[in-house]
Structure 1
C-alpha cells in the first residue's frame, strides 16, 4: 500500500532537515527586499482566443532584474467574480496550456500561471552563482557564500510578487485569492501561501522541495532530489560539509515555511510516490496549523491523480 512509512507514522513525522537559526529573519529580509520591487507589468495579447476570457502573456521584473513571464487569463467582464488563483507548474517544464485556465475563467476566476525562471517557459534567470548547477535547481546557489543567492529564494519571491500583482488588479477581491500547483508547483503554492498570509486557499498536489535530508537518505538517485547526490559526488564526496549543506537547504525547505500558512489547505498525495516520498511531504503538512485536509491515492505514485483537478476547481469556487 505504501513505499515509505505507514499512514500512522506519516501523521507523526516532523522531518529530519534542520531549521536555520536565522530562518525567520532570512525571509523577513527577503520580503522587505521584494517590497521595493515595482508591481508594474506588461501585457502582450496571446494568439489563443476564447469567447469567455481574455488571454495575455504577462511580464514583470522580479528580484535580480529577471524578466518573469506568466500566463494571464481574465474572464470577460460579465463573468468575473473578483476571485483569483495563482498557479505553479512542475519541475523543468512551464505554465502549460491555456485550456485549464479557461476552465477557471468560465467560473469567473482570474488566473496568473507563473513560468519559473530558467526552466521550460519564457522567464529569464539572471542570477550569477558560484559552484555547480548541473542536474537541477535545488543546488543552484548552494555553494555561494551568500544564502540569498539560492535559486529557490528568487522563485519563491516570484510567486509572492505574482500574487501581489493579482491582488492589486482593479477587478480582484484581495480576500478571495488561492494558490494551486503540483510537484514543484505544489511546493511553490505552499511557499506562496506561507510568505503571503492573505492567500485564502491552498491546493497542493504531492509537493516537492521538502525535508531534503530525508529525501537524500532514501533512494535519492531515483527521486526528484537526485541532484543532491551529484552535488556531494562533485563537491564533497566524503560529506565533510553535509551539516552546513542541509542547514543551507533549510532556507528553502517548505517544511520550515509551512507553519506560516493561514490559508485553508487541501493536500493530495499518492502513497506509492518514489519521486517526492510521502514522508517528505508530511514533514511540511504536519507543521501546518491552519485548517487542513489530506487526501490519499493509495495506488498512485508521482503521476496524474485522477479527478483531483475537478475537485480542486469545485473547492476553489467555494471561497
Structure 2
C-alpha cells in the first residue's frame, strides 16, 4: 500500500509532535468561566421547512465576545417508544462551510433524535463574527487573533460556542441530558472532539478525519497547504525570518485538539483515510491515541480527505445504538 505518512504500526503509537502547554488546563478553566458569565439570550424561531414527523426551527444564542450564533434545530413530533425525553445530536460542519440543508438531517429526526446543526461564526452560515483582533481576517481562522495572545484565538471562541450549544440543549425540558451526542467531519470532527472534551457529559462522539490537530507535524510534513495554508502565509507576511517560530506554535497548541482528547468521557467513533494530505493521518492518530474513553477507529487505506464509503452507515448504527 502506498503511504504519505508513517507506517500504520507507527501511527498506532504516535501521540503528537506539538507540546501541551503547562497551563493548558488553567487556560480552558478560565475560558469556561468566561462562558458561564455570558447570557445566551436564546431565541427560537419557526423555520419555513415543514415535515409530517418533525418541527424545524432556527435557534440563535449569544456566544463569547457578543457573537450571535445560529443553529438549525429539528424537534421530532413523537417521542421514541419507552422514552419521556428525546436524545439529541449536535452536528458541526467543515471548514468555511455551513450547517447544510435541512433535509440532510431529517433521518435522525425521523428516528426520534433532536438535531442541532451549528453554523461556525464567520464562515458560510448565519452566525456572526464580531471580530476585534489584529491581523489577517480574510481567511486565516487558524491564526486569527494569534498576534493578540492565546486568549484571543478565533478557535477558542468557536470551541466555547460548541459548549454553549451543548449546555443549552442539555437544559431543555424535552431533551435527555445524558443522551446528547456530537458528530462532524474535518473541522466538524475537531469541534466534536473539543465539545466532548470541554463538556464531558457528551454521550457519544463521532469525529471523521479531524482538523486542527498537531500543527507542528503538519508544518514539518510540508503540508501547510490547502486547509493549513494560512500558517505558511502568516510566516511569509508577518514573520519571514521565523523570529517568532516557537511562540507561534506555542500559542496554537492551546487550540490543538489532541491536547483536549484525554478529557473526553463519551464513547468515540473515528474515521480516517490513510492517504489524507489535508489532515495527515499522523495528526488524526495524535488525537485518537490520546483518547482514554471507549473508542474505535475505522481505517480507509486508499482514501484521502473525501467521502468514505459506508462511513455514514457506521455512524448511523453507532449513534442509534442507545
1:63 aligns with 2:67: no
8 A Cα contact 1:223 1:274, kept in partner: no
Partners of 1:223 and 1:276 within 8 A in 2:
no
Post-superposition offset of 1:136: 2.0
**5+ residue gaps in structure 1?**
none
Listed one character per residue, the Cα deviations across residues 125-163 of structure 1 (whole Å, up to 9, x for unaligned) are: 01311122344200100111x321100000000000111
Range 115-124 or range 35-44, more displaced: 35-44
Task: Give the aligned partner of residue 102 of structure 1.
Answer: 106
Q: Quote how far apart the aligned CAs of 1:223 are.
A: 3.6
Q: Distance in 1 between matches of 2:312 and 2:89?
A: 14
Q: Does 1:83 align with 2:87?
A: yes
> Who is 1:296 aligned against?
299
Q: Which residue of 2 aligns with 1:249?
A: 252
Match of 1:16 in 2: 17
- TM-score normalised by L of structure 2: 0.96
Q: Secondary structure at the match of 1:24?
A: helix
C-alpha distance in 2, partners of 1:77/1:148? Answer: 43
User: Unaligned stretches of 5+ in structure 2?
Assistant: none
Aligned partner of 1:275 in structure 2 is 278
> Per-residue displacement from partner, 1:289-317 (whole Å, max 9, x unpaired)?
11111110111100111221122122111
Q: Give the corresponding residue for 2:208.
A: 205
Contact 1:222 1:274 in 2 (8 A): no
Q: Within 1, Cα distance between the matches of 2:74 and 2:316?
A: 15
- Cα contact 2:75–2:114 (8 A) shared by 1: yes
Q: Which residue in 1 is equivalent to 2:144? A: 140
1:227 and 2:230 are equivalent in the alignment: yes
Give the drift of 1:58.
0.6
> Relative to structure 2, which stretch is displaced further, 19-28 or 33-42?
33-42
What's the Cα RMSD here?
A: 1.3
Matched, 1:306 2:305: no
Q: Distance in 2 between matches of 1:288 and 1:223?
A: 27
1:186 alignment counterpart: 189
For residue 40 of structure 1, report the CA deviation from its aligned partner. Answer: 4.0
Once residues 39 and 313 of structure 2 are traced to their aligned partners in structure 1, the CA distance between those partners, rounded to angstroms, is: 35
CA contact (8 A) 2:63 2:164 kept: yes
- Give the secondary structure class of the aligned counterpart of 2:178: coil
Q: Which residue of 2 aligns with 1:120?
A: 124
CA contact (8 A) 2:150 2:252 kept: no
Distance 1:55 1:286, change over 3 A: same
Aligned length: 318
Measure, in 1, the Cα distance between the counterparts of 2:256 and 2:162: 15
CA deviation digits over 1:248-286, x for unaligned, max 9?
000000011111111100010101100000001111111
Distance 1:133 1:18 in 2: 26
Aligned to 2:4: 3
From the superposition, tell whether residues 216 and 134 of structure 1 become closer, same or farther in structure 2 (CA, over 3 Å): farther
In structure 2, the residue matched to 1:168 is 171
Match of 2:39 in 1: 38
Say which is worse superposed, 46-55 or 70-79, in terms of deviation: 70-79
Distance 1:51 1:308 in 2: 28
Task: Choose 236-245 or 217-226, whichever is displaced more.
Answer: 217-226
Moved over 6 A (4+): none
